[in-house]
Structure 1
């Protein structure tokens, strides 16, 4: 802060700034003294004054906002004197800061306050004193408030400038006023018309409701009259029909009587009694018909039983059709199903006796129990096929499931007998016990050392496993038939909620049946036996492994995968998703553990070194065998075993991929009725089997690395070292010879290997192509967008190879744009 003394004159720069401030405040205050709006239209002095204020006070306003200028930026005494004169002229001139007109007392007090501020500034200028900071802030506040008023006035002027446009709009609205009167009249008329129409509609609706009630009452009266007439007709006709043993006609009369609402007819009887008319005729008719209903029911039941004893199918069906006319649907279905079950029981018992008497040498002896179960299922299907139309016609939709439920109960009993006889004659439980004992011995490592029961021969299980799968397949076929027939009946007779309830009941009937329980037990036994069968067969295939002359793999690869494919296909043919998944998982485990361990054991022995020629590594299998037997030294036998194991690993990898592809196709073709959950489960199991191929790939890679380190690198490394130690310059003739030798080597490798040699020899072939060119520019025929060759060499590698040609100029090679 600067310190000032009274005798010293004020700073000229601050004085100039204050003068400008005074001028601006003066001009702003002058605006408050303007005349009203109606007078400003004829007076141009206001606009002149406003323009003068803007022109003269612009610099002063900017200085007020930014503060007074620094002392060294002043303009000297001349500017101070001019500023003082300007302030005095402004204050003492013709413009009065307060003005002559004030609208309110507040405006007068504000103008007086602003005038006091100006008087203080004039006194300061005349005395040459330094203003206080508080006074400076007050002056700025006055100026800023006046700036706000100026902005508001500018906005008001803008609105006034739009007066002509708004006037034109108002003129247009005034022209439209007569039209609006017509619109108002039309709208009033339309409102009255709508009100009239509404009232008329309400009246008409009331009349329609009255007519509807009258119609309903008339229809009820007609129905009551018809019921009375039918009641008398039925009472008269039922006795005649019973006497003539015309049970169908009597049932028709009783059915019509049962369809009559007895409580409503009783009201008519009460009305006749109240009116003094006799109502005895109605009471006697009701009593007569109730008695006839009882007599008819007893007669039909007795005749149905007699027809069953006599096995008179025509009479059985005749009286079976009468039960629904008496509203005895449950009784009719139960009696008829009992008759069908009796026939089914007799037929199944006969077939079971025939199966037990079948000798082992007869043609169908190996599958006689599955044939017996098949006959049972076919008998049920035949009964459903024959009698389903009768049930649907006379009993209506929904009653087929009740019939099949009763038939299924009889089927469960017969299946339990067949399975029990099957277990007894095939010794299923004993064989499963022996198999489990053998599997436990294998897991514990004591196989062959136990003095107990000898191991079961897998060949004995083959026909038994086939019969088990056939038995389960026939069961699945029967279940699909029942589900399809009942679901068609449910779809016709029920809606969404009832349909879902009936469907759930059908699934409960199937899953909770003894048939399903027996099949689940058989599937468990099948999985145990099949697991033992495939394990023993794979073990035997490994023990009997041989190498045929001219073959690159041993016999156990084909044998193992044949056995696995056979077992999985057998499980798939049984129609059991759980059984198929179990067999796929068992196969995956055996391949990944048992079979891979055999190959890994052979590969761990390593490949002995000492080959004189690289070609011996590929010709051992052909030259070391004579009639399937090895007549070689131990070293040659070890080499042969290693190479065979390596080829077996690679072939096994391909076999696994092929097996998974085949399984996916067969699953989609055979298990068409499986759910999405079951399909996902099968796909997961197949994916697990597919993952085993990576295990074989790892073994093959390990074997190749051993072969490379023990046989190829020791022999090739001295050649490579000797070759790289000398600088080689190649001529055109040398390039031609190199290309010829590369082609010969590629053809040789193609004849002794199974892998694609062109991909592995691609870089070497491209090097020979570059060195075989006649000119440097010839590379444009092979390299570029128009070339059909996929280059394995980079552009730098291609230049490096071409520089080996002594007849190619280095500068020509470097100028190539590759």
Structure 2
């Protein structure tokens, strides 16, 4: 307790010296106690001799040893406790001396206007000296002086308050003079005097003043009649300026204030950014008279509507990119979610953007329909390129908003407009130019091609094909446009990609169905009569009751030549749907050949000629389309069967009877060939030769 009787610094130093001497004395006593312990240990060495002592002497000696051991242990524990207390007192006194010296140094530094030194000493006191020392009785008694009689805690609080106000004044002066060096100098001193929030809020106010000034310059620089996209551009500049400030100044904040403190600055900056962005958008609404136009539905000037849509889309896109940028900072996404400008986007901008998009897209397609140019040389109507360009532009604006729910609803709108204004136009034209059903196709007209049609009908059919091509090319365009949409504004692209995929799938399915139905109509009305006549003419006068010396036939030549002429020019005329047309013709041909073969009289040698003719026909019509050969499986089986002689047929019947258990009189069909066709597809009967 002698430490608390010191009255000045010299006495404190003497007291510390006395404590050190006491510690050394206690160490000597502990050494002596240790020596006694070693002596006790020697007692164990006499255990062998204890057996020679009398029992009374032995009991006496053991009692003495036990008492001595207990006494020594108690003294050792007592010395340890005293040593710990002395060490604590030593640390306490040392920290008190440091506090006294630091406070005196702080006052000297402040008198000398050495703010960096004063702030560093304050930070040392606050971070290196525990509160219990600063507020302890020893500090309250020994630290105050005649010049500064306040307790240490009060002195520190007053110093921090004074320096905080001083730094604030100097920081404001630096703002007025735009002295970057002084700004940085005082900004980094705030956290040293426990004024972190004051420094950050002051710094944020400074940054906000820069944002306000730059935004005001942007708006004041607007001409009397702002050009298109003007407000979109200044919105972009605003968010670019804010993002640049956040990046550059964030490094300074992290360095002097520590990680995580930039969020407070961002929150303050965002409030000002909300105000300035809101002013720009309000000005856009007023100057462009957007809401009045939407309310009245005045969309006659498509150029003006297009400019407004692009400008509004740019505003939304830059806001989305800015939000994505701030989301890179911890807590930054929540700052923009609750911002005033986001509320304005949701309540005012997005609804107008949605209506402008619908009106522009619908009116533009209707205008493209009115201005449609049909050029037979290109095989597609001008409506395709015009509409797909409009779709690409509008889709870019929609996706660029960065709002997933908005994208989904707008894609639904686009699909409805395409169905009602674009695809329906193709349907109308296809019905208008649908080819008439050919009648009276005879042997003389069997090989007539597109050029062989009457002039009026030829023009009609070409226009019909042009709209089929337009539908098919539209399908390709839609898929390509969707595949190349820019999704960089989204952190998670999966939902938007799914919505776009559904959109393209739905539109493509509608167009593909239109193409399929149109090609079917073309086949039924033009090609089917020709094909039936061609098969009839090719097999006319062809006899397959040949001898070994007579197996030649002109059937395949006649048919293949007619097939080539029948399709001549159609691959160019029908750039979309030609493969589908050929597939329909091949399917129909297989059925016609099957029916024709059933009606032929064929002997063994004639079957060879028939097989050769059919093989040539199949090879010709499926050239470069190998998969279409599957259409002729039944034909090939039938050709094989009609060539069987009576003995082979009986063997085949016996095989069937033994395989499936039929008795001779139970065979359901008298003809083996007919029975095989009925059982076609059953894996138990692989007796038919496949292609």
TM-score w.r.t. the length of structure 1 is 0.57
Q: Does 1:511 align with 2:337?
A: yes
2:117: which partner in 1? Answer: 249
Q: Is the 8 Å Cα contact of residues 585 and 689 (structure 1) preserved in structure 2?
A: no
Q: Matches of residues 397-796 of structure 1 in structure 2 within 5 Å?
A: 397-434=259-296, 437=297, 455-484=299-328, 486-487=329-330, 503=331, 506-520=332-346, 521-605=348-432, 606-609=434-437, 618-619=450-451, 642-652=464-474, 654-655=475-476, 658-667=477-486, 670-671=487-488, 673-675=490-492, 679-712=494-527, 728-729=543-544, 731-735=551-555, 737-738=557-558, 740-741=560-561, 744-745=564-565, 748=568, 749-750=570-571, 752-754=573-575, 755-756=578-579, 759=583, 791-792=629-630
Aligned equivalents of 1:559, 1:210: Cα separation in 2: 100
Q: Does 1:798 align with 2:636?
A: yes
2:3: which partner in 1? Answer: none
- C-alpha displacement at 1:233, in angstroms? 0.9
Gaps of 5+ in 1: 1-207, 439-454, 488-502, 625-631
- C-alpha displacement at 1:386, in angstroms? 2.8
Change (3 A) 1:737 1:507: closer
- C-alpha displacement at 1:528, in angstroms? 1.2
Q: Is the 8 Å Cα contact of residues 293 and 326 (structure 1) preserved in structure 2?
A: yes
Change (3 A) 1:792 1:457: same
Change (3 A) 1:210 1:398: farther
Change (3 A) 1:778 1:728: closer
- C-alpha displacement at 1:725, in angstroms? 9.5
Change (3 A) 1:326 1:735: same
Aligned equivalents of 1:387, 1:246: Cα separation in 2: 26
Per-residue displacement from partner, 1:662-682 (whole Å, max 9, x unpaired)? 424535xx336433xx62254
Gaps of 5+ in 2: 1-75, 546-550, 595-604, 620-624, 653-686
SS at match of 1:733: coil
Aligned equivalents of 2:256, 2:470: Cα separation in 1: 69
Structure 1 stretch 720-729 or stretch 370-379: which is displaced more? 720-729
Q: Is the 8 Å Cα contact of residues 427 and 514 (structure 2) preserved in structure 1?
A: yes
Q: Is the 8 Å Cα contact of residues 171 and 187 (structure 2) preserved in structure 1?
A: yes
- C-alpha displacement at 1:394, in angstroms? 1.7
Match of 1:377 among 236, 239, 242: 239
Q: Does 1:331 align with 2:186?
A: no
Q: Is the 8 Å Cα contact of residues 447 and 534 (structure 2) preserved in structure 1?
A: no
Aligned equivalents of 1:373, 1:776: Cα separation in 2: 78
Alpha-carbon RMSD: 4.6
Structure 1 stretch 323-332 or stretch 563-572: which is displaced more? 563-572
Structure 1 stretch 516-525 or stretch 401-410: which is displaced more? 516-525
Q: Is the 8 Å Cα contact of residues 554 and 644 (structure 1) preserved in structure 2?
A: yes
Per-residue displacement from partner, 1:533-581 (whole Å, max 9, x unpaired)? 1101111222222321324333223322232122112333454444543
- C-alpha displacement at 1:532, in angstroms? 0.9
Change (3 A) 1:740 1:302: closer
SS at match of 2:335: helix
Q: Is the 8 Å Cα contact of residues 230 and 256 (structure 1) preserved in structure 2?
A: no
Per-residue displacement from partner, 1:420-458 (whole Å, max 9, x unpaired)? 222222222222223xx36xxxxxxxxxxxxxxxx4221
Structure 1 stretch 402-411 or stretch 418-427: which is displaced more? 418-427
Q: Matches of residues 102-251 of structure 1 in structure 2 within 5 Å?
A: 220-251=88-119
2:61: which partner in 1? Answer: none
- C-alpha displacement at 1:463, in angstroms? 2.4
Change (3 A) 1:728 1:562: farther
Aligned equivalents of 2:81, 2:544: Cα separation in 1: 118
Aligned equivalents of 1:278, 1:483: Cα separation in 2: 50
Q: Is the 8 Å Cα contact of residues 407 and 496 (structure 2) preserved in structure 1?
A: no
Aligned equivalents of 1:697, 1:210: Cα separation in 2: 98
Change (3 A) 1:773 1:474: farther
Q: Is the 8 Å Cα contact of residues 618 and 752 (structure 1) preserved in structure 2?
A: no
SS at match of 1:666: coil
Higher-Rg member (1/2)? 1
Aligned equivalents of 1:302, 1:697: Cα separation in 2: 74
Change (3 A) 1:457 1:215: farther
Change (3 A) 1:456 1:799: closer
Match of 2:209 among 335, 338, 342: 342
- C-alpha displacement at 1:699, in angstroms? 3.0
- C-alpha displacement at 1:777, in angstroms? 10
1:308: which partner in 2? Answer: 175
1:261: which partner in 2? Answer: 130
Change (3 A) 1:212 1:358: farther
Aligned equivalents of 1:777, 1:215: Cα separation in 2: 118
- C-alpha displacement at 1:720, in angstroms? 6.6
Change (3 A) 1:265 1:582: closer
| Count of equivalent residues | 544
Aligned equivalents of 2:118, 2:425: Cα separation in 1: 84
Aligned equivalents of 1:620, 1:458: Cα separation in 2: 46
Q: Is the 8 Å Cα contact of residues 238 and 289 (structure 1) preserved in structure 2?
A: no
- C-alpha displacement at 1:218, in angstroms? 6.9
Change (3 A) 1:751 1:647: closer
Change (3 A) 1:771 1:659: farther
Aligned equivalents of 2:171, 2:211: Cα separation in 1: 18
- C-alpha displacement at 1:327, in angstroms? 0.8
Per-residue displacement from partner, 1:175-218 (whole Å, max 9, x unpaired)? xxxxxxxxxxxxxxxxxxxxxxxxxxxxxxxxx99999999867
- C-alpha displacement at 1:650, in angstroms? 4.0
Higher RCO, Cα 8 Å, sep 6+: 2
Per-residue displacement from partner, 1:666-718 (whole Å, max 9, x unpaired)? 35xx336433xx62254134314312323233333443444455555566667
Aligned equivalents of 2:541, 2:610: Cα separation in 1: 25
Q: Is the 8 Å Cα contact of residues 303 and 319 (structure 1) preserved in structure 2?
A: yes
SS at match of 1:542: helix
